[in-house]
Structure 1
């Protein structure tokens, strides 16, 4: 099934972040698929703002992207032993939109981090945050890119063959989940 819609969520806002590079690699391994990346530059969640003005249009746009996607890959950096505030804020806002958009949605998690654990704690905290939403969260293989500043070559590809293989295996598993649901 070549007409998959793959959505990327990057927990880092930096344009040159290694997590964004990892999303690009994930997209390449998942292909063929229509791909887009959600813009997580959202206002901080504020219940008073929600009451006064409703759900911001930017949040509704991300919600619609999630709803339209066949599969989602989330790349999370590790900030202070957890997922980024950007990603947590996006999850909090999205949870306020009625409709349970995550339920049954195939989701893969990847991480790239400067430390030697490659974002393992960020992935764990993200899995905890995702649990109430009931997605079809893939359990593995786990893709955690350590020393991420040195993990990509000049073309933006993973320079370690083993890491690239594991990412390819995870994207194949994500594709299999989508195709299983399409049956």
Structure 2
């Protein structure tokens, strides 16, 4: 099975990319590709641009990556209670690719983290409520609050309660969706 993982952030030091990369390591018997949104930087989406520039090739490439995958792991950065501009721009562009839904009717494990106590709770709730309209079959969610207290670059999630929760959800996904 092919798993596509990415963080909804363009920060070169993204804590969400660290979380999604860590999470992807638990799917050791599957093909995993971790994308960097910086490799898909496009013009700011606007309906007035569509007639003049069309759909950027990078949007088509990103959509193809989704279509070729069996499971998506997405860790969303929260900016002012919502998606980051980098994620939202890609989301907007892939949502207009003809004859497909933005997230390709794929099962999606949505994660979020932040330095704060809420851990990206607002963006996670937004994702649970809106991504399914665009072809994301949200099968699980995971929230890691206080990233810098609960995550270590060498050991991953150091808080045993959160580490156990993540592993339990991953095992459920493996049984239910990856056989």
> TM > 0.5 between the two?
yes
How many residues align structurally? 175
Supply the distance in 2 between the matched residues of 1:63 and 1:143 (Cα, whole angstroms): 24
SS of residue paired to 1:65: helix
Q: Would the alpha carbon gap of residues 42 and 165 (structure 1) be closer, same or farther in structure 2, given more than 3 Å must change?
A: farther
| Aligned counterpart, 1:54 | 54
Supply the distance in 2 between the matched residues of 1:48 and 1:156 (Cα, whole angstroms): 47
Supply the distance in 1 between the matched residues of 2:66 and 2:17 (Cα, whole angstroms): 18
Q: Would the alpha carbon gap of residues 151 and 45 (structure 1) be closer, same or farther in structure 2, given more than 3 Å must change?
A: same
Supply the distance in 1 between the matched residues of 2:19 and 2:125 (Cα, whole angstroms): 18
Deviation, 1:168, is 1.6
Runs of 5+ consecutive residues of structure 2 not aligned to the other structure: none
Deviations along 1:98-119, one digit per CA (max 9) or x if unpaired, are 1324343110100111110111
| Aligned counterpart, 1:24 | 21
Supply the distance in 2 between the matched residues of 1:161 and 1:45 (Cα, whole angstroms): 41
The answer to whether the Cα contact below 8 Å between 2:66 and 2:104 also exists between their aligned partners in 1 is no
Computed over aligned residues only, the root mean square deviation of the Cα atoms, in angstroms, reads: 1.8
1:111 and 2:112 equivalent? Answer: yes
Runs of 4+ in 1 over 4 A off after TM superposition: none
Supply the distance in 2 between the matched residues of 1:154 and 1:26 (Cα, whole angstroms): 12
1:35 and 2:32 equivalent? Answer: yes
Supply the distance in 1 between the matched residues of 2:83 and 2:61 (Cα, whole angstroms): 22
Larger mean CA deviation between 11-20 and 166-175 belongs to 166-175
Supply the distance in 2 between the matched residues of 1:178 and 1:65 (Cα, whole angstroms): 19
The answer to whether the Cα contact below 8 Å between 2:3 and 2:30 also exists between their aligned partners in 1 is yes
Deviation, 1:88, is 1.8
Identify the structure with bigger relative contact order (alpha carbons < 8 Å, sequence gap 6+): 1
